[in-house]
Amino acid sequence: MSADTAAVPRPPARTASAPVLTGAEAVVRSLELLGVTDVFGLPGGAIMPVYDPLMDAEAVRHILVRHEQGAGHAAQGYASSSNKTGVAIATSGPGATNLVTAIADAYMDSVPIVCITGQVFSTLMGTDAFQEADIVGITMPITKHSFLVKRAEDIPGAIAAAFEIASTGRPGPVLVDITKDAQQTEVPFVWPPKIDLPGYRPVTKAHGKQIQAAAQLIAEAKKPVLYVGGGVIRAQASDELRTLAEATGAPVVTTLMARGAFPDSHAQHLGMPGMHGTVPAVLALQESDLIVALGARFDDRVTGKASQFAPHAQIVHVDIDPAEISKIRTADVPIVGDLKDVLVDLEAAYRTAAAGESADISEWWSFLDGLRDEFPLGYAQPTDGLMAPQYVIQRIGELTGPEGIYAAGVGQHQMWAAQFIKYERPNAWLNSGGAGTMGYAVPAAMGAKVAEPDRVVWAIDGDGCFQMTNQELATCAINNIPIKVAIINNSSLGMVRQWQTLFYDGRHSNTDLNTGHGTVRIPDFVKLAEAYGCLALRVEKEEDVDAAIKTALETNDRPVVIDFVVSADAMVWPMVPQGVSNSYVQYALDHSPAFAEMED
């Protein structure tokens, strides 16, 4: 949607019963009436009027971050763990632009957040005033909508509309930029405002004939696969997915964004597909005759070379966003609708279609079970005397359990956390999937802990990612947000180093970080964490891993940071190189000694 104020209706004229508030007071009151209880932000000149009434708000807890990017990722973690809409607040100029990375991240991963930013006086806009930036223009490509509000009377409508847009249809970020004069002007406050959004009509109910056509294809398929994306989690449709899967008996693969949408322990689950997916999941898609894509977008990390992806498969594509359907792979049966409703209708239609006669998929399962037996997920022990990072992450998952929340940074540790922690429920796995944002984990874990205070929340981070946003440990310590942080410290930018090892003749250009190996540690993560008010531990031997994790689990009066010093030579396997066909996996299994690591 384009940015303007016309999309927000003018509130009714002053009435005797309408209290007179400043625009800033209207911002806070609107948040309260929308049920917002927690916001993350950092004040500055252009948003200062809002911070004055925010100080007196009893229903809204403001958490002062150390960097606006942290506010954005915290809002994401809050939303992704709780199915609520996260809120971040920042000032104009650099305050607003510091939110851009988190906004882009939320847009890629369909996370509902509302970002409220201050703007310079409307009379100064366009003059290059102090801390002026066209944040509406900057964020227009990476938001569902960006509002510019220049009149105080438009504030309640803009904020109410922002929450409506962020949380409906395909979820995503919405920006509300409010000029300083609009914040300072007094006007009658009328609630609820009438929300009128011309052209915004998300389709939730799918067409019945498309449902029937999809059900018939599933009943006839001999090699079906349910390809599950993050849309299932955003739609809160995990129970409905399980019902459909068990009715059809089809194998299920869950993408990086969908980990936990279907239980890892379920017999029909083959694991994660894609570049670093399991062999059964990758080859199930590649060899299938029918792919039922549910809230998935055929991302390049899943398909590999798209023109050679699943060459024999028909495609049923279900998504709330019609723009995703047939964008990468043409759908034989396109279905636009809310997955929670679509899955119910599809399961009922399948039972009708299969009542006569359905295809026998026992041979298909025999093939897939053979792959599971022959190529279980595994890893090789390092030969340099340092710990295997996979072991550390696996033990974190085993000792914490499925009720925990795990937020990962980006890189090798992200892939290992997706592979070696078992996810049994939705909203347990938080990560930056589409944007791949380093620095996501700590603030996202912070936001998740605020939203779900009774759950154990881990940030599983790399030594590179951790150094981008670790200042939010101060926020956690001061605000009694006791997250656990596991730094998987291989003293390098691990995923880039892996690619350099494999594709650049081992020339490790600018990927050594000097954080964990040898006598010099810059920085010393234990000292750094202690300076931030955290309990800090360092683990260098496998026999000490469990004790450190248990100490973290038992400590709830402050954040805990564990510096796990691991091997830099560990790699993420399997791996389908970028830009090649997923058929490469079968070739590699037959010809590449590197894939032998999976069997160890």
Question: Is 144 labeled as catalytic in the residue annotation?
Answer: no
Query: Of 32, 125, 131, 246, which residue is the catalytic one?
Result: 131
Tell me the fold of 208-374.
Answer: Rossmann fold (3.40.50)
d(CA 334, CA 317): 5
pTM, to two decimals: 0.94
Question: Is 471 labeled as catalytic in the residue annotation?
Answer: no
SS3 assignment, position 73: helix
The model's pLDDT over 468-490, given as tens digits with 9 standing for 90+, comes to 999 999 999 999 999 999 999 99
User: What local confidence, expressed as pLDDT, does residue 190 receive?
Assistant: 96
User: What local confidence, expressed as pLDDT, does residue 590 receive?
Assistant: 53
Query: Of 69, 108, 119, 180, which residue is the catalytic one?
Result: 180
Angle at 149 between CA 143 and CA 154, to 5 degrees: 115
Query: Of 275, 387, 415, 495, which residue is the catalytic one?
Result: 495
Query: Of 68, 132, 347, 452, which residue is the catalytic one?
Result: 68
CA distances from 581 to 228, 271, 328, 498, 530 (A): 20, 19, 15, 20, 47
d(CA 393, CA 390): 5
For the chain, residues with pLDDT lower than 50 are: 1-14, 591-600
As a dihedral over the C-alpha atoms of residue 306, residue 308, residue 310, residue 315, rounded to 10 degrees, the angle is 50
User: What local confidence, expressed as pLDDT, does residue 49 receive?
Assistant: 98
Q: Where in the chain is the domain with CATH 3.40.50.1220?
A: 208-374
User: What local confidence, expressed as pLDDT, does residue 318 receive?
Assistant: 98
User: What local confidence, expressed as pLDDT, does residue 585 receive?
Assistant: 61
Neighbours of 244 (CB within 10 A): 24
Q: Amino acid identity of 78?
A: Y
Question: Is 599 labeled as catalytic in the residue annotation?
Answer: no
Question: Is 125 labeled as catalytic in the residue annotation?
Answer: no
Question: Is 525 labeled as catalytic in the residue annotation?
Answer: no
Tell me the fold of 20-188.
Answer: Rossmann fold (3.40.50)
Contact predicate 461/136, CB 8 Å: no
Q: Where in the chain is the domain with CATH 3.40.50.970?
A: 20-188, 389-572
User: What local confidence, expressed as pLDDT, does residue 8 receive?
Assistant: 45
Give the CATH number of domain 389-572.
3.40.50.970
User: What local confidence, expressed as pLDDT, does residue 574 receive?
Assistant: 87
